[in-house]
Amino acid sequence: MADPKDHDFAQRAEQCLHRIQAALDEFDPDELEADFAGGVIRMTFADRRNCILNRQGAAHQIWLAEGASAWHFSYDEAAAAWLDTKGRGDLFAVLGEILTRRLGRAITL
């Protein structure tokens, strides 16, 4: 029998990733291309560097990697948000900061 926590995680993670992909689809493809497949969003910037966002089912987390930095986000029921396990912020805020730095303009997701 499937664990209900696995189902809840999968549903929340998919909703989150689809929301992010929809926001990324609004960017000019000359500055940022984003592809979503198999629970992974690969963002490619104009300089051809990547930022990867992916679902980690076994850990019930969403992982974000950019350059030499990585974040692991777990869903916090009380905050109703994906929060970094090391206390470095909410997934949308962290990704917004990365996009702001990489694109050279303020980005809010």
CATH, residue 57:
3.30.920.10
26 domain residue, yes or no: yes
32 domain residue, yes or no: yes
Q: Which domain holds residue 90?
A: 4-103
Q: Look up residue 69 and give its amino acid.
A: S
Which contiguous run of DSSP H or E holds residue 37? Answer: strand 32-37
88 domain residue, yes or no: yes
pTM for the whole thing? Answer: 0.93
91 domain residue, yes or no: yes
pLDDT tens, 50-101?
Answer: 999 999 999 999 999 999 999 999 999 999 999 999 999 999 999 999 999 9
pLDDT tens, 22-51?
Answer: 999 999 999 999 999 999 999 999 999 999
Q: How far apart are CA 72 and CA 74, in angstroms?
A: 7
109 domain residue, yes or no: no
**From the CA atom positions of the chain, what is the Rg in Å?**
14
For residue 108, give Cα distances in angstroms to 26, 35, 91, 95.
12, 19, 11, 9
Measured over the CA atoms of residue 35, residue 31, residue 89 and residue 18, the dihedral's sign is negative
pLDDT the model gives residue 2: 60
29 domain residue, yes or no: yes
pLDDT the model gives residue 6: 87
108 domain residue, yes or no: no
Per the CB < 8 A criterion, the answer to whether 68 and 79 are in contact is no
Q: How many folded domains does the chain comprise?
A: 1
SS3 (DSSP) at 101: helix
Cβ atoms within 10 A of the Cβ of 16, count? 19
pLDDT the model gives residue 64: 98
